[in-house]
Amino acid sequence: MELSGKVALVTGGSRGIGAAVARRLASDGAAVALTYAQAVGKAKTVVAEIEDAGGRAIAIQADHRDPATAAEAVEQTVRELGRIDVLVNNAGIFGGGPLADITEDDLDQILAVDVKAVFLASQAAARHMSDGGRIISIGSALAERVPGPVFTLYAMAKSALTGLTKGLARDLGPQGIRVTVIQAGAITTDMNPDTGPAADFLRSITALGHYGHTDDVAALVAYLAGAGGQYVTGTAITIDGGLAA
């Protein structure tokens, strides 16, 4: 129960990586708030699973296509759970396709969710965090290596998180707040299943030859949120099975 007495907010916590992270942080003792855009049923299921295991959790509706909702979720977490010690910026959308087909609206949407909402949530959380606070963003290995066409928009948005992480680490280091970004590779989720049309290609370009699981990412988040992350800040940590090797 390393995180006993701590409060964590996981954005996009109703499914996939976010749900696995929420369950893992709760199992380590944290009270957990999680946001969802539309999947209220899945969010309630995650909350119920945490509560059935003896933990405390709340679900907050927040569609980060309106980036202001990310900061509002931080404030609601503090109001309902009393504090915030760990922010996991997990909510994101994928934008891709042939370069010529990408519209300005596509650009605005991915920057709103994958960059602006992350900045606003981090800014809001930093106002409430004390020494030992953690801000952990879920990025993408595509920020390190783009293995083919159609990924330009997504790679650009996720690359922004590296610069944001380094800047926040410098700004917040004097407060004792650690800031990291996790560059996730081929992790099997509803959005990117290991049975999907791109699965064979993605497996072929990893060193290990297979997808990772959401619990793999959750374990890394838990390490960074706990004592293991005490001297880790301002850096990207890749978990991609060797995709970027």
Q: How many CA atoms lie within 13 A of 104 on its CB side?
A: 0
DSSP-derived secondary structure for the chain: -TTTT-EEEETTTTSHHHHHHHHHHHHTT-EEEEEESS-HHHHHHHHHHHHHTT--EEEEE--TTSTHHHHHHHHHHHHHHS--SEEEE-------S-GGG--HHHHHHHHIIIIIHHHHHHHHHHHH--TT-EEEEEEEGGGT---STT-HHHHHHHHHHHHHHHHHHHHHGGGT-EEEEEEE-SB--SSS-TTSTTHHHHHHTSSSSS-B-HHHHHHHHHHHHSGGGTT--SEEEEESTTTT-
Give the separation between CA 44 and CA 22, rounded to whole angstroms. Answer: 12
Strands 57-61 and 31-36: parallel
* Per annotation, catalytic residue among 36, 154, 211, 231: 154
Residue 36 a catalytic site member: no
- Active-site amino acid positions: 154
